[in-house]
């Protein structure tokens, strides 16, 4: 296969999606490699998980910089020093500015635990439960300056069960995230995602034209 594309992962917390990406990237046939894992929090559990996987991991703390532009400049310098071509946000809890994203135009991906554009922002799973939806899920999209906005690359749907707790729904969505994010990144790194009129067109097999019913159809 052609050379693997260099990907950086940004996180603020436990890093479970980073692990899913790293495990996929360890496969010989996967089109990406993780060149660095960076966090804005020195105590993020994802950093130790990255190091346990043998990945370079470091901290660019917002508190150590006098302004958001200074923080983003330091972050940009670390990413470029690592040779990153693309960025995957994996629970990175900071909005990136338009100026930062201009330097990485259409090269930053994010995963969000809802079927965007529904339930943007924090606690998307709790928002889904409160709204009483019967189907929830997750979305991988190209990042724009607005929160949880940008062309959608891939989505996975999961049912919301009648007796669901927040913990159970979160776990079901997270399991889908761990499968979806590596698949979406692979398509992206293979050049199979094209942007047309603000939408992502994906060169992938057409899914079966079936519906997910909840409650199940008779």
This prediction has a pTM of: 0.95
Q: What are the residue ranges of helices labelled H in the chain?
A: 16-25, 45-52, 68-81, 98-103, 124-131, 166-189
For residue 58, with 0-12 CB atoms within 10 Å meaning exposed, 13-18 middle and 19 or more buried, which class applies?
Answer: middle
Tell me the mean pLDDT per 10 residues along the chain, length 218. 89 97 97 98 97 97 95 98 98 97 98 98 97 97 97 97 95 98 98 95 87 83
- Give the active site residues: 112
Q: What is the 3-state secondary structure (H, E, C) of 119-147?
A: CCCCCHHHHHHHHCCCEEEEEEEECCCCC
- The pair phi, psi for residue 120, each rounded to 5°, is -75, 165
Question: Residue 210: what pLDDT?
Answer: 82
First CA to last CA distance, the chain: 46
Rounded to 10 deg, the angle between the 45-52 and 16-25 helix axes is 20
């Amino acid at each position: 296969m052609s050379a693997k594309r260099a990907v950086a992962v940004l996180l603020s917390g436990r890093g479970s999606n980073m692990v899913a990406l790293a495990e996929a990237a360890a496969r010989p046939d996967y089109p990406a490699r993780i060149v660095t894992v960076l966090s804005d929090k020195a105590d993020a559990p994802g950093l130790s998980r990255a190091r346990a996987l043998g990945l370079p991991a470091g901290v660019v703390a917002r508190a150590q910089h006098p302004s958001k532009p200074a923080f983003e400049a330091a972050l940009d310098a670390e990413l470029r020093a690592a040779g990153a071509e693309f960025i995957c946000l994996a629970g990175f809890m900071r909005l990136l500015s338009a100026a930062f994203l201009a330097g990485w135009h259409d090269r930053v991906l994010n995963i969000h635990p809802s079927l965007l554009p529904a339930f943007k922002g924090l606690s998307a799973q709790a928002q889904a439960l409160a709204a009483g939806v019967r189907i929830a899920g997750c979305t991988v999209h190209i990042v724009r300056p607005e929160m949880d906005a940008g062309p959608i690359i891939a989505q996975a749907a999961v049912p919301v069960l009648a007796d669901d707790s927040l913990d159970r729904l979160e776990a079901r969505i997270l399991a889908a995230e761990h499968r979806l994010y590596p698949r979406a990144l692979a398509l992206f790194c293979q050049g199979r995602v094209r942007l047309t009129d603000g939408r992502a067109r994906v060169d992938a097999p057409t899914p079966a034209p079936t519906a997910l019913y909840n409650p199940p159809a008779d």
